[in-house]
Amino acid sequence: MKNITIVGGGSAGWMTATTLLNQFPDKKITLVESPNVPNIGVGESTVAGDQSGFSGIVDWLKLVGINGFDWMSHCDGIHKLSIGYENWYRKDSGIFHFPFGPEYLQHNNYEFQLNDWHLKKIFYPETSVSDYAECFYPGIALINQNKAIHYDTPIWQKGDNEVQQRSGWSFQFDATKFGFYLRDYYCQSDNFTHIQAEVEETPLDDNGLKHLVLDNGQKLEADLFIDCTGFKSLLLTKAFGVEFNSMEKFIPNNYAWATKIPYKDPETQIVNYTMCSAIENGWIWEIPLWSRMGSGYVFSDKFISTDAALREFKYNLIKKGYENAKELDYHLIPMRCGIQEKLWVKNTCAIGLAAGFAEPLQSTGLQTIYQFLFNLIRTMSRDHISEWDRREFNSKCHDDFYAFASTVALLYALSHRDDTEYWRDIQNRDYPTDIFSQQNEPGFAKYFRQMYIEKNFNTEFRKGNAVHALSAGMNWNPIYKLNPLLKGNDIEKTKQWVEVFVKQTEERKKKWAEEIKDFPSPYQYSKDNIHKNT
């Protein structure tokens, strides 16, 4: 396998080209990109790696040799500490955060300590849904005070400042500019060819794609074709007719309106998190970049027309304080949520939206790209590709995707909003919670049931599992093991133990707040360290 052709640019195409050029410098890589596909560049929000084996964007950057933060100045980038969720549990229920990094616990028995918080919730039911993250994640202190850690400080210089030591982070940046940056700085090899042309024909034979016929008359042959053509999936769907496994049953949305919002006061508007706000017929994202805010409204046209959704989007932006919402430019983005039945067919595979998409809610768009790229280079390291290799790649990518998608679906499943037909329909959906149920989506059902069983039946907490922060934020608590009233425990002794936990965590919150009182704001840190010349 010496000759590889990537069809499509964007984040998926240029990340694929960058990865292959770095990992296989002797192979000939060609990228064919349509000159007629507009780049929207709404902003891209990424996530950090976790302890379940999934990698973060930092891991991919290191893999391809992008070190430090210089690249961020080319891509409108800022750092990110968490994802905020507003009004997801109920209308006007407030905000909770899904922070990055593992919980910071005071002793090794993490199951016991996480249970302490749920006992606190039993004895003090008025405890805020945001309290779980505030108790266990030092980075929340930064969010509450709109502060930034010193991201460029080496680990050996962090001292005993717990917030500086233990806050996980990722990035937010302009996805279009990121693709251009990769093109200009990491795809300049003699073995790389960039062609701007339309693909007109994709003839097949027994081995797969015979070649590509371009509108400039060229015929491109390759040992491997990689489909990075987005939702239209020019190769897998249109050429091979691969079936698409829709997630519509569990993830309801199929459209997004997107826009770019100029800052009025970047000092206060630039924050180190993505905000996801549930509204009448879907949810709004706000992704702060260095020069402007990226925002979008994710919805389903089964419950509201695209025109009505745009009016609803503008109205809610004005409510959020963006008075100029009516004057902005808006782009309608059709989405399909799900994954291809096969991601590698004969001599063709897919990366990015052409492979699968679980909607923007958990910032998994780029995560899916680089996770699938890790799988791809591992498979390609054998050089010759057999049907076993294709099926293994397909299985691993499906496994990864359904793990991402199940976390997205969990937020919908746990919502108690009932203020519109959209939210009432979501409450009545048949999510695969029964351990013995047989669903048509075995991969998704496996992961969704796994989260449900671990959290709500056996309460076998695993450190670093995203379910805990999300479920506590959605006011979803274990129903059996932890309730002292059901276990016949000495209630007064249990309450005394809980009060010790409450005292310890409140002291930790004060300590973390004190540790960062002199830290810079996200705006000031970025201005002084990332965007010095902008």
Q: What is the dihedral of CA 315, 364, 452, 393, to 10 degrees?
A: 150
Neighbours of 493 (CB within 10 A): 10
**Local confidence band at 382 (pLDDT 50, 70, 90 cut-offs):** confident
Q: DSSP secondary structure string, 498-531?
A: HHHHHHHHHHHHHHHHHHTTTPPPHHHHHHHHT-
Which amino acid appears at position 435 of this protein? I
3-state secondary structure 447-489: HHHHHHHHHHHCCCCCCCCHHHHHHHHCCCCCCCCCCHHHHCC
Share of the chain above pLDDT 70, in %: 89
How much is the average pLDDT of 325-339?
Answer: 95
Report the pLDDT value the prediction gives residue 448, as an integer from 0 to 100: 80
Give ∠ CA 512-515-518 in degrees, rounded to 5: 130
Residues above pLDDT 90, as percent of the chain: 70
Q: Tell me: the pLDDT tens digits for 16-71?
A: 999 999 999 999 999 999 998 766 555 687 877 654 445 588 899 999 999 889 99
- pLDDT tens for 249-288 read 999 999 999 999 999 999 999 999 999 999 999 999 999 9
User: Given this model, what pLDDT does residue 336 score?
Assistant: 93
Q: Which residue has the higher pLDDT, 396 or 42?
A: 396
Check residue 51 and give its pLDDT.
44
Burial class from Cβ neighbours inside 10 Å (0-12, 13-18, 19+) for residue 205 reads exposed
Please tell me the least confidently modeled range out of 141-145, 309-313, 423-427, 483-487. 483-487
β-strands 348-350, 224-227 pairing: parallel
pLDDT of residue 477: 80
Output DSSP code: residue 251: S
Residues 6+ apart with CB under 8 A from 149: 139, 142, 163, 164, 167, 169, 516, 519
Q: Which uninterrupted H or E stretch holds 279?
A: strand 273-279
Q: Supply the mean pLDDT for the chain.
A: 89
Report strand pairing: 170-173 vs 95-99. unpaired
Residue 450: the pLDDT is 74
Banded pLDDT at 145 (limits 50, 70, 90): very high
Question: What is the reported pLDDT for 47?
Answer: 77
Q: What is the pLDDT of residues 489-501, one digit of tens each?
A: 678 888 888 898 8
- In angstroms, the CA 313 to CA 325 distance is 9
441 or 379: whose pLDDT is higher? 379
Cα separation, 145 vs 517, whole angstroms:
8
Among 37-51, 124-138, 164-178, 328-342, the range scoring the smallest mean pLDDT is: 37-51
* Cβ(224)–Cβ(347) below 8 Å: yes
Dihedral sign computed on CA atoms, order 145, 404, 339, 251: negative
| CA proximity to 43, closest of 360, 404, 303 | 360
Nearest-5° Cα angle at 163, 157 to 168 = 90
Greatest mean pLDDT range, 27-41, 91-105, 458-472: 91-105
Question: Which is it for strands 192-196 and 170-173: parallel, antiparallel or unpaired?
Answer: unpaired
- Residue 467 binned pLDDT confidence (cut-offs 50, 70, 90): confident
Residue 291, pLDDT score: 95
**Dihedral pair phi/psi, residue 427, rounded to 5°:** -65, -25
- Please tell me the distance from the alpha carbon of residue 393 to that of residue 376, in angstroms, as a whole number: 7
pLDDT score at 235: 98
Q: What is the pLDDT of residue 365?
A: 84
pLDDT digits (tens, 9 = 90+) for 365-375: 888 999 999 99
Beta-carbon count within 10 A of 112 CB: 12
Cα Rg of the chain (Å, integer): 24
Tens digit of each residue's pLDDT (9 = 90 or more) over 436-460: 555 555 678 877 877 776 665 545 5
Please compute the mean of the pLDDT values over residues 502-529 and round it to a whole number.
95
